[in-house]
Amino acid sequence: MFHLLGTLGKLFKLHRVHIDGCVFRLHTGATVAFLMAFCMLLTAKEYVGTPIECYCPTLPKSVVNSFCWVESTFSLRSLFNASYNGSVVYPGAGPGRGDRKYHTYYQWVCFLMFAQALCFYAPRWLWKAWEGGKVPAIVAALDIRSAITKDRADLRSQMADFLVVNMNHNRCYLMKYLFCEALSVLNVVVQVGFTDYVLGGSFLTYGWDLVRWHRGEGREFVSPAVMAFPRIAMCSFFKYGDSGALENREAICVLPLNILNEKLFAFLWFWYVLLLVAGVLTVIYRVLLLLSVPLRRRLLGWRYPDNKRISAVVSAMSAGDVFLLSLVGQNVDSLVFSQLVNEMSRRLVKVAPAVPSAPPLI
């Protein structure tokens, strides 16, 4: 198990150069790591043992286990609260022919989490393909540790020239990133809906139901975790008897995986809510960045305190240029970034009289 987690850590090691925002990294990095770790945990037999253990006195144990694993188990909704009356040994499992709730999800949970990990990584893969290594190349050129002292000024001057010459050519760059961020938010909504479908309608309000139950606000005596992920369920096994008639045998099954499932999906519910809220706010912020020049000044101002120079630079740049410069700023030393902005402001002052233009809207 631990060697698998070590491999996972190498796969999702932190990158020195960030080409995206912290919220986007939560969607495409941390979430993927969580889902892959959960997938490995659920498949580790040394922690959960056999995924299902069924008992039926008249049938071979191995046959019943295989049958109930493939054909699913069920609980009786009318018996979820009956255990407190002493009529059954576990909520939902006991004699009766009430409304059945079938549990068909548990053999698919690992596949579900693996597929979700791929879906959450997709926006990052798309953005890396579109970004094309622009920010890492600029950051590498500005890296004071990889250049000798006499070359640092030349490299900084070349990067300032590059950024000034390519001004107003980065609108598409920002729009592609905004699309990837919006795609990551949409993916959260899709994954919540798909998880709710796989779990038979138990996930959409799962976390909120847990909070209400722990606060004593719910009507149910049994925890929503037990109702969604029962540890003991029933299974109907049909066979032909000695007389040739079809006989029904009821088996009692223990589902050890649900001990983990109830906790993992509770974590995922709150995590998805956090991702959705943070993602929506971030997309709104990006849209405001497109429309507001003062907001762009604030974006760069926290890295560079000279308001006059920042105002001169930002006023001549589009939102895409400011976004690219902000990505560079979060990956280099503050001193290097200040010197880069100084170089750019000097060049913009020189070219401004020759090429008069109104501040770009985006």
Summarised one tens digit per residue, pLDDT across range 31-85 is 999 999 999 888 876 556 678 888 888 788 888 888 888 888 888 877 776 655 5
Closest CA to 41 of 192, 257, 206, 268: 257
pLDDT number for residue 155:
74
Identify which has the larger pLDDT, 312 or 357. 312
Nearest to 237 by CA among 72, 122, 49, 107: 72
CA angle 101, 105, 108 (to 5 degrees): 170
d(CA 151, CA 46): 57
Tell me: pLDDT of 230 over 70.
yes
Tell me: pLDDT of 120 over 60: yes
Neighbours of 58 (CB within 10 A): 11
Among 141-155, 271-285, 294-308, 347-361, whose mean pLDDT is lowest?
Answer: 347-361
Greatest mean pLDDT among 5-14, 154-163, 168-177 = 168-177
DSSP state letter for 30? I
Distance in angstroms (rounded) separating the CA atoms of residues 264 and 162: 48
Instruction: Check whether 200 has a pLDDT greater than 70.
Output: yes
pLDDT of residue 356: 45
Report the length, in residues, of the chain.
Answer: 362
Nearest Cα residue to 36 out of 123, 112, 126, 125: 112
Contact 266, 118 (CB under 8 A): no
pLDDT of residue 48: 61
pLDDT of residue 9: 56
Q: What pLDDT band is residue 355 in, cutting at 50, 70 and 90?
A: very low
Residue 283, pLDDT score = 94
Percent of the chain predicted with pLDDT > 70:
79
Contact yes or no for 138/328 (Cβ under 8 A): yes
pLDDT tens-digit series, residues 216-226? 766 667 788 88
Task: Check residue 352 and give its pLDDT.
Answer: 47
Tokens representing 35 are 């889902």
pLDDT at position 52, please? 86
For 239-256, the pLDDT digits (tens) are 666 656 666 778 888 888
